[in-house]
Amino acid sequence: METNNHYDAIVIGAGPAGLSAGIYLSRARVKTLILSEGTVGGQMILTHEIANYPGVESISGYQLSMIMRNQAKKFGCDIKSNILVETFNLDKDLKEIVLADGTKYTADAVILSPGGRSRTLGMPGEDALKGKGISYCATCDGDFFTDKKIIVVGGGNSALEEAVSLTKYASKVTIVHQFDHFQAFEYAIEEARNHPKISLHMESSITAFHGNEKLEGVEITDLKSGLKQNHPIDGVFIFIGYVPNTEFLEGKVELSEWKEIIVDADMQTSIKGIFAAGDSITKKYRQVTTAVADGTIAALAASKYIHELHQNKQLQHTR
């Protein structure tokens, strides 16, 4: 078993940000390793069809993930997925990452792209029907529900704004919210309340999802009376918050109050030589295209950092 392996750069996470970083670094002949505790592609593989990626009319998230993966490998990037990281030592000049099996990797620079996950309801049937009628992204999937009846879950700004945007496609949008009031700006509340295609189902919650190959209906529970009713529905969009996968970074790099990684314009974190990209950083919009852009910037900045580091070491060696 390998006990020590040194790379110029190690990328944590193999979503679109991490894969893009791997492509750019490897193309620049930076010795690069991508480590992913999950499947290559990240959240992207959950998307049935991506139709707004520039230059590509239509492609599944899985297919796009595999194309990016193959590009990175073609340029010489090593990729290890479905591994378990035991420890991270990021605050020294030589960064160290140890896997659960004892394998140790070191690098001059690290790019953190662990991604994130939409907060789920955690109700029966939800996991099985993700991407089969249950979505967490209106921009990604709204078009697939043209002339369909859908439900939007949530009561914040994102939920109400996305509900209004989904009326461009859906024939009817029902907002299901657990409270008797919304936690959103007044303009968003008024727009949703006054829209002819939108109806409200307050003080209620979805407690089960039904369907085999695709979503066919939901169970909605009235939280005041406890009454449960089944409703046939074509799609459900859930907007109840977003969770960055940064638990392992607590106390290691500076995080925002929402546990997102704080970066500068070059995707540099609070630690020198540690960069970050993708859905785990502090940002407003989260799309495949924005993740790719983040990964590109982080890779270019990391490549410059590594180049300068090697130059300085050579100068010190020759003195």
Alpha helices (runs of H) in 75-170, residue ranges in sequence order: 138-141, 157-166
Point out the catalytic residue in the list 8, 137, 234, 279: 137
Length of the chain equals: 319
Alpha helices (runs of H) in the chain, residue ranges in sequence order: 16-27, 61-74, 138-141, 157-166, 186-194, 288-318
Strand, coil or helix: what is 125?
coil
Task: Report how far residue 191's alpha carbon sits from residue 160's, in angstroms, rounded to the nearest whole number.
Answer: 8
- Joined together, the tokens standing for residue 234 give 């074509």
> For residue 17, how many other CB atoms are within 10 A of its CB?
35
Rg (CA), the chain: 22
Strand partners, 163: none
77 carries an active-site annotation: no
140 carries an active-site annotation: yes
Task: Report how far residue 45's alpha carbon sits from residue 59's, in angstroms, rounded to the nearest whole number.
Answer: 11
In this structure, the strands spanning 215-222 and 85-89 are: unpaired
DSSP letters of 265-298? TT-B-SSTTEEE-STTBS-S---HHHHHHHHHHH
Task: Report how far residue 178's alpha carbon sits from residue 185's, in angstroms, rounded to the nearest whole number.
Answer: 17
- Give the position of tokens 């520039």: 54
- Give the position of tokens 């707004």: 52
Point out the catalytic residue in the list 8, 77, 140, 234: 140
Backbone angles phi, psi at 286, to 5 degrees: -130, 100
Task: Report how far residue 169's alpha carbon sits from residue 174's, in angstroms, rounded to the nearest whole number.
Answer: 13
Task: Report how far residue 214's alpha carbon sits from residue 9's, in angstroms, rounded to the nearest whole number.
Answer: 41
141 carries an active-site annotation: yes
Point out the catalytic residue in the list 108, 141, 234, 279: 141
**Residues classed as catalytic:** 137, 140-141
